[in-house]
């Protein structure tokens, strides 16, 4: 539902006629019970007056005529009228709506109203329990919208659990540039004593494990601290198990890793943590490939792809690794077309592969290097390996990954450069692709990306060269053929 259409709440026992009409503004489902709660009235059996009669502005959604759907323009009119006649009531109306929604099983609406009322304590309490379900069900944008409010109000340092979960979801499904800011805010909040360290330490340990700043051994220790300290039944318990298993993979302990990851996938599936389940399956597929168990790898990656499709998780951070593994499986089977499709999907999220999440980024890039080598795209493989080595320079203590990168570099040093292609596109060029197929000029694209027109033109010419075309229209056609972003 559109969070802009809310019940406007009042603290006054007797609301004015204008407020009584305007109090029906509950999202896009106004109803008698929430309106009564917002206005502090008890109008037994009566629908909100503007919604009754032959020319009703709302369509009943239930046989008791307590819930209605109305046009968004009606909402806009109500908002204008309330702002004009009784602006001082808005915050009180919102607070009452938040309380009613929370008491009547509508916690997500309660967050929207609490934030509109400026009730940070209620919003934080609700948010801490609802952020993960929203993320895990494929609604990361909803969770990020809630987070942004705390940031805009400069409150993330006051609520460390909000900041920790915010940093987590930025890592898992958001722009990498925001991760460190949210993590730092959580640490500042803890230092300032806004939360008990015993309560928040498992969360901070979980975040440290994900960021992997201090190497694989510390990553595993942090993950185990999170596993032990999170409350029984916590929706984040599967993520903690997953990170423990990833640390084992990075340490080269394949047998132990497979056991931990299998448990993580089972727990994640049971509690509905679908992104963690997909990530665990992708990691297990990597272990299977290392053992040359290609049948097992295919089964695991297919299960991951099925969950990803059903949960609409293609834009999540674990998706590139899953598609990279699936591409390698397809190539082993000789299915080049399917492999190229998976590689195109992985390429769409390549700009997210940064040092903010170093272990996952390097894992993905190295698997993509192997896939492009199998396709004899040596230039693309070199470019991908270069990106991985840049991250390894910043985060060198990633277990076996530096040695794997060195082995691939040695192999590439012995191979002649044979082909060019989309894999040679840089992160900056990948960010340009979705805008090439629009009506925007290079100058307007530059404004969107905070770049000069000259820089955009140079990047576009580089894209044309790497795609083997000579114009913007031909590049768009080529992108449509390959399934790369921008189509």
CATH number of the domain bearing residue 298 = 1.25.40.10
Q: For position 71, what pLDDT does the model report?
A: 58
Are 270 and 371 in a shared domain?
yes
Report yes or no on 227 lying in a domain: no
Are 182 and 39 in a shared domain?
no
What number of other Cβ atoms are within 10 A of residue 37's Cβ?
A: 23
Q: What is the mean pLDDT of residues 67-92?
A: 67
Q: Would you say residue 263 has pLDDT above 90?
A: yes
Question: What is the sign of the dihedral through the CA atoms of 72, 77, 80 and 86?
Answer: negative
Rounded to the nearest 5 degrees, what angle is found at the Cα of 445, between the Cα atoms of 444 and 447?
Answer: 65
Are 269 and 411 in a shared domain?
yes
The pLDDT-based confidence of 220 (bands split at 50, 70, 90) is very high
- What are the E-state strand segments in 185-236? none
Q: For position 367, what pLDDT does the model report?
A: 96
State the residue range of the domain holding 469: 432-482
Q: How many domains does the chain have?
A: 4
Report yes or no on 237 lying in a domain: no
Are 271 and 374 in a shared domain?
yes
Q: For position 130, what pLDDT does the model report?
A: 86
Are 46 and 175 in a shared domain?
no
Q: What is the mean pLDDT of residues 378-401?
A: 93
pLDDT tens digit sequence for 6-50: 333 333 334 444 444 444 444 444 455 555 555 555 444 444 555
Q: What is the CATH number of the domain that holds 460?
A: 1.10.10
Report yes or no on 332 lying in a domain: yes
Separation of first and last alpha carbons in the chain: 28
Distance from C-alpha of 28 to C-alpha of 24, rounded to nearest angstrom: 10
- What are the E-state strand segments in 72-141? none
Report yes or no on 461 lying in a domain: yes
The highest-confidence range among 31-35, 194-198, 225-229, by mean pLDDT, is 225-229
Average pLDDT, the chain: 78
Report yes or no on 205 lying in a domain: no
Measured in degrees and rounded to the nearest 5, phi and psi for residue 58 equal -125, 155
The highest-confidence range among 95-99, 199-203, 403-407, by mean pLDDT, is 403-407
Residue that finishes a domain, picked among 87, 120, 153: 120
Are 412 and 331 in a shared domain?
yes
The highest-confidence range among 81-95, 187-201, 294-308, by mean pLDDT, is 294-308
Residue that finishes a domain, picked among 120, 147, 177: 120
Which tops the pLDDT comparison, 13 or 264?
A: 264
261 exposed, middle or buried (CB, 10 Å; 0-12, 13-18, 19+)?
buried
pLDDT tens digit sequence for 328-350: 999 888 888 899 899 988 988 88
Report yes or no on 73 lying in a domain: yes
Are 270 and 182 in a shared domain?
no
CB 370 within 8 A of CB 289: no
Are 294 and 413 in a shared domain?
yes
Measured in degrees and rounded to the nearest 5, phi and psi for residue 2 equal -70, 120
Contacts (Cβ under 8 Å, ≥6 apart) of 415: 373, 378
Residue that finishes a domain, picked among 398, 419, 440: 419
Distance from C-alpha of 469 to C-alpha of 230, rounded to nearest angstrom: 54
Report yes or no on 302 lying in a domain: yes
Q: For position 43, what pLDDT does the model report?
A: 46
Report yes or no on 363 lying in a domain: yes
Q: What percent of the chain has pLDDT over 70?
A: 72
Q: What percent of the chain has pLDDT over 90?
A: 28
Q: For position 110, what pLDDT does the model report?
A: 87
Q: What is the mean pLDDT of residues 347-369?
A: 88
Q: Would you say residue 88 has pLDDT above 80?
A: no
Beta bridge partners of 137: none
Which tops the pLDDT comparison, 249 or 18?
A: 249
The pLDDT-based confidence of 158 (bands split at 50, 70, 90) is confident
Are 188 and 83 in a shared domain?
no
**Which one, of 119, 174, 195, 180, lies nearest residue 150 by Cα?**
119
Are 414 and 437 in a shared domain?
no
Are 368 and 455 in a shared domain?
no
CB 422 within 8 A of CB 484: yes
Are 387 and 270 in a shared domain?
yes
Enter the pTM of the model: 0.65
């Amino acid at each position: 539902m559109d969070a802009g259409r809310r019940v406007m709440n009042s603290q006054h026992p007797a609301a004015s006629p204008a407020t009584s009409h305007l109090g029906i503004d509950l999202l896009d489902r106004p109803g008698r019970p929430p309106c009564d709660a917002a206005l502090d009235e008890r109008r037994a059996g009566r629908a909100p007056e503007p919604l009754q009669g032959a020319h009703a502005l709302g369509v009943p959604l239930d046989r008791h005529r307590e819930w209605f759907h109305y046009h968004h323009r009606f909402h806009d009119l109500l908002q204008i009228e309330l702002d004009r006649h009784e602006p001082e009531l808005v915050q009180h109306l919102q607070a009452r709506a938040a309380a009613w929604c929370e008491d009547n099983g509508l916690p997500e609406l309660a967050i929207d109203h609490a934030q509109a009322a400026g009730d940070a304590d209620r919003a934080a309490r609700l948010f801490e329990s609802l952020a993960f379900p929203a993320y895990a069900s494929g609604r990361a944008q909803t969770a990020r919208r809630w987070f942004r409010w705390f940031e805009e109000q400069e409150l993330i340092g006051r609520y460390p659990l909000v900041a920790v979960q915010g940093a987590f979801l930025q890592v898992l499904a958001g722009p990498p540039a925001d991760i460190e800011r949210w993590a730092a805010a959580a640490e500042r909040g803890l230092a300032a004593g806004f939360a008990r360290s015993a309560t928040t330490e498992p969360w901070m340990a979980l975040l440290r494990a994900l960021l992997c700043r201090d190497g694989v051994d510390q990553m595993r220790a942090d993950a185990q601290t999170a596993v032990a300290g999170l409350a029984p039944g916590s929706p984040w318990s599967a993520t903690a198990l997953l990170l423990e298993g990833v640390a084992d993979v990075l340490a080269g302990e394949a047998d132990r890793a497979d056991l931990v990851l299998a448990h993580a996938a089972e727990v994640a599936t049971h509690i509905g943590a679908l992104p963690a389940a997909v990530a665990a399956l992708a990691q297990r597929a990597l272990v299977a490939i290392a053992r040359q168990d290609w049948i097992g790898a295919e089964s695991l990656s297919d299960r991951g792809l099925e969950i990803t499709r059903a949960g609409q998780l293609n834009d999540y951070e674990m998706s590139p690794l899953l598609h990279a593994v699936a591409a390698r499986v397809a190539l082993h089977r000789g299915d080049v077309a399917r492999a190229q499709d998976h590689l195109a999907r992985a390429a769409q999220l390549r700009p997210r592969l940064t040092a903010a999440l170093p272990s996952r980024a390097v894992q993905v890039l190295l698997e993509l290097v192997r896939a492009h080598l199998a396709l004899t795209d040596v230039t693309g493989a070199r470019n991908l390996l270069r990106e991985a080595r840049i991250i390894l320079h910043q985060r060198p203590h990633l277990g076996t990954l530096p040695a794997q990168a060195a082995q691939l570099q040695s192999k590439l040093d012995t191979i002649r450069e044979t082909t060019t292609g989309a894999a040679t596109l840089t992160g900056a060029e990948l960010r340009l692709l979705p805008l090439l197929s629009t009506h925007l000029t290079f100058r307007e694209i530059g404004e969107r990306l905070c770049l000069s027109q000259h820089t955009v033109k140079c990047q576009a010419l580089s894209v044309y060269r790497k795609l083997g075309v000579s114009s913007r229209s031909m590049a768009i056609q080529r992108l449509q053929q390959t399934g790369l972003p921008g189509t």
